[in-house]
Amino acid sequence: MNDTKQKTALITGASRGLGAALALALAPTHHIIAVGRTSGALEELDDRIKAVGGQVTLAPMDVTKPDAMAHLCRGIFDRWGGLDIWAHTAIHAAPLSPVAHVDGRDWAKSVTINATATATLIPLIAPLLGTDGQAVFFDDPHQGDKFFGAYAASKGAQISLAQAWAAETASTGPRVKILTPAPMPTAIRARFFPGEDRATLADITKEAARLVAEIA
């Protein structure tokens, strides 16, 4: 992106959790384009970003809808000409279950959101990042852990796509990074580990700041 233009950051999955924290951490230096399905949570994020002097464009959209995401990407190009950062945090956390008892609907939703949507978004967003932009994915490795089959398999597929893209663009750009956040007290974490002492987990605001330092 041209240094004379305002920097932009697209956050997919910005409604809450890590996505919202990253949006707030990037807001002092980037115009945030916040994508999420929960309008109320996005509006709350809007208030928080504006309270610290940042700028945000809300996009209450479903990342699994290719036409909607294509429309968004066209709008980003028309308004800003491209993107500096894409941080992909949208995720579906299927209920923990033995592999032999994984619900078919949960499996389909996991694959659609965690894998298929990622494969659809990459070719839409890559041209906006150009050679100098940066795409960031967030690993949560549970491959082989009991009861994590649906989540781990679909999340692992997402990370495999990101790893391949990173290798393919290593010498040409955009830069593709895969970061592993410390365990944080998110809603997804609470579903996986009910009863866990949340006081022992990383503060989400501080963890987002740490991750942004790795991105910058």
Q: What is the pLDDT of residues 40-75, one digit of tens each?
A: 999 999 999 999 999 999 999 999 999 999 999 999
Residue 205 has pLDDT above 90, yes or no: yes
CA separation (Å) from 182 to 88, 116, 210? 16, 25, 10
Q: State how far the Cα of 154 lies from the Cα of 165, in Å rounded to an integer.
A: 17
Nearest in space to 202 (alpha carbons), one of 181, 172, 180 = 181
The confidence score (pLDDT) of residue 6 equals: 86
Residue 110 is assigned to a structural domain of this protein: yes
The confidence score (pLDDT) of residue 4 equals: 52
Residue 186 is assigned to a structural domain of this protein: yes
Residue 33 is assigned to a structural domain of this protein: yes
Q: Residues 127-150, buried b or exposed e (16+ Cβ, 10 A)?
A: ebbeeebbbbbbebebeeeebbbb
- Tokens (6 digits) for 211: 């991750």
Residue 151 has pLDDT above 50, yes or no: yes
Q: State how far the Cα of 204 lies from the Cα of 186, in Å rounded to an integer.
A: 8
- The domain total for the chain is 1
Residue 5 has pLDDT above 80, yes or no: no
Main-chain dihedrals φ then ψ at residue 209, nearest 5 degrees? -65, -40
What CATH number did the domain enclosing 171 receive?
Answer: 3.40.50.720
* In contact, 207 and 22? CB cutoff 8 Å: no
Residue 12 has pLDDT above 90, yes or no: yes
The confidence score (pLDDT) of residue 95 equals: 94
The confidence score (pLDDT) of residue 2 equals: 42
Q: State how far the Cα of 180 lies from the Cα of 184, in Å rounded to an integer.
A: 11
Residue 181 has pLDDT above 50, yes or no: yes
Beta carbons within 10 angstroms of residue 42's beta carbon: 23
The confidence score (pLDDT) of residue 3 equals: 47
Give the helix ranges, DSSP H, for the chain: 17-26, 39-51, 66-80, 104-110, 117-129, 149-168, 187-192, 204-215
Rounded to the nearest integer, the mean pLDDT of the chain is 96
Residue 216 is assigned to a structural domain of this protein: no
Residue 48 is assigned to a structural domain of this protein: yes
Domain of 95 in residue numbering reads as: 8-209
Residue 174 has pLDDT above 60, yes or no: yes
